[in-house]
Amino acid sequence: MIFMILINLAVCHGFQLFMTKNSNWNKNTNWNQLQFSIKENARNWFVKRAIRSGIPWNELYEENVNNYDIIEKSKEKIENKNIQYPEYYLKPFHGYDAGNMNWKAAQEAEGATLSISSRYWKGVSPIEAQEWMRNNVTQNVYKYIKGLNDGILYSPRKIIDVGCSVGISTEYLQDAFPKETKIFGLDLSPYFLGVADFRACQQNRNIQYIHANAEKTNFDSLSFDLIICNFVFHELPEQAANSILKEMYRILNKNGILAIVDIDPDYLDTMLNQNIFRKWAFESTEPHIYNYYLRNTQEMMQNLGLRHITKARNDPLNSIWFGVKGDYNYIKSKNPLNLIDSRENDMDMQKNFELRSIFI
């Protein structure tokens, strides 16, 4: 069985590479036919791996299924019926034929989100690993703000999480800043936003979720003091990535900060090559990853006109890129934030990056 899966993976992987260089092929027909087996095998492998890691995948999925009526009403409340979806967004993605435009993907998103960091650190549960990863994002944001403010931590007044999925990253973002901070979450999938709104209602959170294309948000210019994009750009074709960056720059306030959290191509290549099955399984469900391998995020941010561009390692696989719009001279809020303890104090992250492959 494993041998046959590997054969399928090898053939499909090679064919996918061939098609990226030969545009005359009928991609919709040939690739969809050839990809079916590898897609199913890859998806099943991801789910089983998540369950083995201790993630309550089925329980989380069933909870969302059982609350379908409530979640569906949330979706209807948020959904913008006039959106024209870009072609790339409607294609198979992450093992789902309809990409993010279906209930199955939204109902399984919580388990999938937990699996992101489930094996980043040795001997750490998936829930704790996610807390470490998300809190490291918070710490990196704090450090960047402090670096621009002579060591003083001040809170942005209006923040948006772009590509918020089912709202988990948005919730961590809200917890990181004072209650008076206005928090928004934006996503292109109304299904994901239905789950996000349901979660917010369950937890009595005041988060405003927006159904919009990040390439054209319809927000006024200079709207946000902090924009964070979590794990979005590795999922985008080049044109969409550039369009979204331009839109983020437009809605970013003067002296506002843009933060991009995503897979670091250098770390990803090293880690994936330790397990060829994991590499093929991952790449078969990430249609734009080859372009991402070659992308220079810092250069793209610089070309926008952002200043003080920096990159910080967030965890064993991901980095966070920062840039500020203009010369930073932030109008300081009245209440400085209190820094929470850095996870680096609890665990020497740099030392533990190489303890084991995260893709075992």
Q: pLDDT tens across 113-130, in order?
A: 999 898 889 899 999 999
Secondary structure class of 21 (helix, strand, coil): helix
Give the CA distances from residue 44 to residues 10, 51, 332, in Å, rounded to whole numbers and listed in that order: 17, 11, 50
Stretch among 3-12, 191-200, 307-316, 324-333 having the lowest mean pLDDT: 3-12
Stretch among 182-196, 202-216, 271-285 having the lowest mean pLDDT: 271-285
Report domain extents, the chain. 1-360
Residues 6+ apart with CB under 8 A from 308: 148, 322, 323, 324, 328
The pairing of strands 158-162 and 182-187 is parallel
CA 71, distance to chain mean position in Å, is: 22
- Burial of 51 from C-beta contacts in 10 A (0-12 / 13-18 / 19+): middle
Q: What pLDDT was estimated at residue 330?
A: 54
Q: What pLDDT was estimated at residue 292?
A: 86
Q: What pLDDT was estimated at residue 229?
A: 98
Q: What pLDDT was estimated at residue 6?
A: 38
> Residue 148 above 60 pLDDT?
yes
> Residue 355 above 70 pLDDT?
no
> Residue 78 above 60 pLDDT?
yes
Looking at per-residue pLDDT, the higher value among 110 and 356 belongs to 110
Residues 6+ apart with CB under 8 A from 146: 152, 153
The tokens describing 272, both together, are: 């994936």
Q: What is the mean pLDDT of residues 320-346?
A: 59
Burial 103-139 (b: 16+ CB within 10 A, else e): bebbbbbbbbbbbbbbbbbeebebeebbebbbbbbbb
Report the side by side order of strands in the sheet with 306-313. Answer: 208-211, 182-187, 158-162, 224-230, 252-263, 318-325, 306-313
The pLDDT-based confidence of 45 (bands split at 50, 70, 90) is confident
Query: Considering the domain 1-360 in this protein, what is its CATH number?
Result: 3.40.50.150
CA dihedral 183, 189, 194, 198 (to 10 degrees): -40
> Residue 351 above 50 pLDDT?
no
Rounded Cα distance between 135 and 133, Å, is 6
The pairing of strands 306-313 and 318-325 is antiparallel
The tokens describing 293, both together, are: 């391998």
Q: What is the mean pLDDT of residues 306-335?
A: 82
Reported pTM: 0.82
Asked if residue 178 lies in contact with residue 246, where contact means CB atoms within 8 angstroms, the answer is no
> Residue 272 above 90 pLDDT?
no
Return the percentage of the chain with pLDDT > 90, whole number: 59
Return the percentage of the chain with pLDDT > 70, whole number: 76
Bridge partners of 319, per DSSP, are 262, 313
The pLDDT-based confidence of 37 (bands split at 50, 70, 90) is low
Q: What pLDDT was estimated at residue 137?
A: 96
Looking at per-residue pLDDT, the higher value among 86 and 266 belongs to 86
The pLDDT-based confidence of 346 (bands split at 50, 70, 90) is very low
Stretch among 161-165, 211-215, 312-316 having the lowest mean pLDDT: 312-316
Residues 6+ apart with CB under 8 A from 8: 37, 38, 41
> Residue 136 above 60 pLDDT?
yes
The torsion angles phi and psi of 225, rounded to 5 degrees, stand at -85, -25
Residues 6+ apart with CB under 8 A from 204: none
> Residue 53 above 70 pLDDT?
yes
For tokens 């405003």, what's the residue?
Answer: 208
The pLDDT-based confidence of 34 (bands split at 50, 70, 90) is very low
